[in-house]
Structure 1
């Protein structure tokens, strides 16, 4: 049994498990490509134009800078994306984040008072957006880059309606 099934109660049903939309990886991947090409170009230039000791020092410096930028601008955001989970079950909404330090939030379906979504032109092109969940006792919680946000909104709204007990014989 894998994550998120490990976090569920024995009779709890998983309805949706997703990571943030892949569009949040565009800049990290672009950085990876550009920095790697630039490091390769500079490495070739240094190899052709410098003496052996200077060449070795400059190549190690280029490698160190390349690795630092790669870890800072690409590896970190990719790990953040991979370690962020948005989960909907038949009882609650779970959000889990973090690589070294984990944080989590559970919202019981019965505590959700409203579900909204928002997305602009670019988000609509990528089929993503921001999901806003209103809880009966707190400020609304906003989650960015939810894939297929309109479908998730409809699913969550349906789950909240199903979880809400009906009164008065309706």
Structure 2
């Protein structure tokens, strides 16, 4: 599912859209299997009698509550957590009913570092710590798939964003064509008018 275009500016494009690492869903799937297995066994083990239907309904009700709490909520939390890198900023959104988010313009990011445990190195996951100019402290994104690759991508996008902003500001100043110092008339220094 593409990230909503309504959150992007006119000249902004999504470079990478991530959710937390897929292994985040391992324990909810294990719980799903255990709850379904236990509920099936429990309903089959109830002896025949007048109370059998009521007891089976109680077992099923408990199973449904456990499925919602231990399976559906983590699955929805994973699905509604977005890490989006665009050509201009890093967007972070999470939450099922109440939402929380943060937008960091690439121009304000001062440092991006990643951390991986041995297990995270094996499964190619990790945490990113993003320092930005201004208040608010560092932003830590956990369970990022390919965290070292995402760190390198962010550094690359920060450099591209700086080049783009430099060229835009130089273009507004009158014909500067790029970082090599050449102007549109071929000279390398600004014209002096007498």
What TM-score, normalized by structure 1, do the two folds share? Answer: 0.91
- Structure 2 residue ranges without an equivalent (≥5): 167-178, 181-194
What TM-score, normalized by structure 2, do the two folds share? Answer: 0.80
Equivalent residue in structure 1 for 2:158, among 154, 157, 160: 160
The runs of 4+ residues in structure 1 deviating greater than 6 Å are none
Could you tell me how far apart the structure 2 residues matched to 1:141 and 1:90 are? 19
- Is structure 2 residue 24 aligned with structure 1 residue 56? no
- Is structure 2 residue 75 aligned with structure 1 residue 95? no
- Structure 1 residue ranges without an equivalent (≥5): none
Which has the greater radius of gyration?
2
Equivalent residue in structure 2 for 1:148, among 146, 149, 157: 146
**1:10 CA drift (Å):** 1.6
**1:83 CA drift (Å):** 0.6
**1:157 CA drift (Å):** 0.9
**1:85 CA drift (Å):** 0.6
Q: Higher relative contact order by CA 8 Å / sep ≥ 6: 1 or 2?
A: 1
Q: What are the within-5 Å matches in structure 2 for residues 7-156 of structure 1?
A: 7-46=7-46, 49-51=47-49, 53-137=50-134, 138-156=136-154
**1:163 CA drift (Å):** 2.2
Q: Which residue of 1 aligns with 2:191?
A: none
Could you tell me how far apart the structure 1 residues matched to 2:53 and 2:6 are? 50
Could you tell me how far apart the structure 1 residues matched to 2:88 and 2:118 are? 33
Could you tell me how far apart the structure 2 residues matched to 1:65 and 1:55 are? 15
- Contact 2:3/2:17, CA 8 A, preserved across alignment: no
Q: How many residues align?
A: 165
Could you tell me how far apart the structure 2 residues matched to 1:120 and 1:25 are? 19
